[in-house]
Structure 1
Amino acid sequence: MKIDPNLLEFAKSMRHTATDAEHLMWQILRAKRFMDLKFCRQHVIKPYIVDFYCHEIGLVVELDGGQYGTDDAVEYDAERTKFLEPLGLTVVRYWNHDVLGRIDVVLEHLWQVCDELRVN
């Protein structure tokens, strides 16, 4: 399946404008630093671009900022999840402020999710 070049270019531009939370999470996930799993960032799963993706275990990690508390954003996230889960993917979401202020709690939860997905 050919991916729209505009979508790929947008994903690439998003890598260069990462939030502080995305940057911190990428430093942890990149280069198989977390559980020896290979993660990609700003990965295209047409028609969406997900924040982080691990093909090996079918995991999508999304980081949400303050704008995600709105009804429209909640509805959009629900649509994305409804699209991704039937593809066999697991979607987990973390708030940016938790990544920046409680990274230990976020990583403990992420470790549990990855560990369960590896077993299945």
Structure 2
Amino acid sequence: MARVPEHMTANARSLRNGSTEAERLIWHRISIYRPRFTRQLVVAPYILDLACRTAKLAIEFDGSQHLEATAYDDARTRY
């Protein structure tokens, strides 16, 4: 498996520490269940808001920051 660039790891850590209220509420609800979820998982070149590795499931919360970036979001969805 390829090594994750350090700047992406640092960015993911920053995002985890600065979660929105909605992200914190959802994380609180699902963190006790199995299979486990991971917050701000780096899947270069992207950082997933939530991911379940066992189920191969990626979850992205679309907030207002995504209103202007539709082309980027489409490319990320195809990835």
TM-score normalised per structure 2: 0.90
Unaligned runs of 5+ in 2: none
Which residue of the partner structure matches residue 17 of structure 2? 16
Unaligned runs of 5+ in 1: 84-120
**1:77 Cα deviation from its structure 2 partner:** 1.1
**Whole-angstrom CA distance in 2 between matches of 1:53 and 1:67:** 20
1:93-117, CA deviations, whole angstroms, 9 ceiling, x for partnerless residues? xxxxxxxxxxxxxxxxxxxxxxxxx
Q: Percent identity of the aligned residues?
A: 35
Which residue of the partner structure matches residue 5 of structure 1? 6
**1:11 Cα deviation from its structure 2 partner:** 0.3
**1:47 Cα deviation from its structure 2 partner:** 0.7
1:63-105, CA deviations, whole angstroms, 9 ceiling, x for partnerless residues? 11123223xx22111111111xxxxxxxxxxxxxxxxxxxxxx
Which residue of the partner structure matches residue 101 of structure 1? none
Instruction: Report SS of the residue matched to 1:63.
Output: coil
**Whole-angstrom CA distance in 2 between matches of 1:62 and 1:81:** 10
Which residue of the partner structure matches residue 103 of structure 1? none
**Whole-angstrom CA distance in 1 between matches of 2:46 and 2:39:** 13
**Whole-angstrom CA distance in 1 between matches of 2:40 and 2:59:** 10
Which residue of the partner structure matches residue 29 of structure 1? 30
TM-score normalised per structure 1: 0.61
Which residue of the partner structure matches residue 60 of structure 2? 62
Superposition RMSD on alpha carbons, in Å? 1.1
Instruction: Report SS of the residue matched to 1:64.
Output: coil
Which residue of the partner structure matches residue 102 of structure 1? none
Bigger helix share: 1
Moved >4 Å (runs of 4+): none
